Amino acid sequence: MLPTQSGGPGAFAQFDLKRVPTPCYVVDEEKIRSNLQILRDIGDRSGARVLLALKAFSMWSLAGLVEEYLDGCCTSGLWESRLAREKNFVPQKNEKVLSTFSPALREEEIEEICSLSDHLIFNSPHAFGLQYARKSGVSTGLRINPELSLGLDPKYDPCAENSRLGYPMSKLGTGELSGFQGLHFHTLCEQNFEPLLKTWQRIEQQLGGTLHHLEWINLGGGHHCTRDDYDRDGLAELISQISQKYEVEVFLEPGEAVALDAGILVGEVLDIMDAEKRHALLDLSATCHAPDVIEAPYRPALLGEIMEEGYEYFLGGSSCLTADSFGSYQLSDELNR
């Protein structure tokens, strides 16, 4: 189970939950802005271009706010690329960058993806669609697998054994990188600076002599750089070193860092049921409203929960899926039907 990464309730500690209907997502726009300001500061200090990973936060009502601070978006295929352009996360004809990566591309989608994207990243030097992309004029990159597993969970570790994500660095032949303008690696998930540093040191040790022809290097996502304990000074210094040594633009693709601690899911207890344990039955569904709770899995933080022993409740979802539960929580007061 992945650890809960909540930094605390923040402004939600004073939020009146009765103000909103349930089920309901509530977003703290000022916390989003605060996170974006941190990311902008990293970009300004280091020279990095900071892109929103749209798969992690695609709330288009805040696209203008994101566009105000960041340098563009990275997307996972045609539909996210369309969303980024149409909702003005990355407006057409400006200096922002739309970077697209998918492990494989559909033949009928390649032309449109190339027209929407500024960077198009491929999963191998021999990937389908690469020759068309080069002729189209889009800047092409190669995603590599540095083969250094530092992830917290194999399901979220692109360097896990037999990973399909990124071309194994040890298999990269002489000259295979030379046809690309960029290099991309994404190896982290909700992690601090140290795993990134170790990964870069491994890449530089093996590929350092072949990087000078590149125009850009993309350090991927998974950087929890808006967390209070993240080493942002170390990150800025590393980016500056890479940029100066290899004369490249450096890109970052934070996702969750943009929205970290900026939202809650509000629900209502509909009924109480005693089985082997006591269940609070909600108008929420983990599998529908917060699927990562089951897929990761992880246990989300709860406003008002206590860490010592109290009244224990399993918060159950409203679907027919047996595993539709947010987990077990201790409360200071007994819930009423």
List pLDDT tens digits, range 63-95: 999 999 999 999 999 999 999 999 999 998 778
CATH 2.40.37.10 positions along the chain are 10-25+262-331
Residues carrying CATH 3.20.20.10, the chain: 29-259
Class level of CATH domain 10-25+262-331: mainly beta
Reading the block at residue 27, the tokens are 């977003």
pTM exceeds 0.85, yes or no: yes
Q: Are 2 and 240 in contact (CB under 8 A)?
A: no
Token pair recorded at residue 220: 């991927």
User: pLDDT tens, position by position, for the chain (337 residues)?
Assistant: 566 667 778 889 899 999 999 999 999 999 999 999 999 999 999 999 999 999 999 999 999 999 999 999 999 999 999 999 999 999 987 789 999 999 999 999 999 999 999 999 999 999 999 999 999 999 999 999 999 999 888 999 999 999 999 999 999 988 899 999 999 999 999 999 999 999 999 999 999 889 999 999 999 999 999 999 999 999 999 999 999 999 999 999 999 999 999 999 999 999 999 998 999 999 999 999 999 999 989 899 999 999 999 999 999 999 999 999 999 999 999 997 6
Other CB atoms within 10 Å distance of the CB of residue 205: 8
CATH superfamily, region 29-259: Alanine racemase (3.20.20.10)
Copy the structure tokens of residue 86: 């149409």
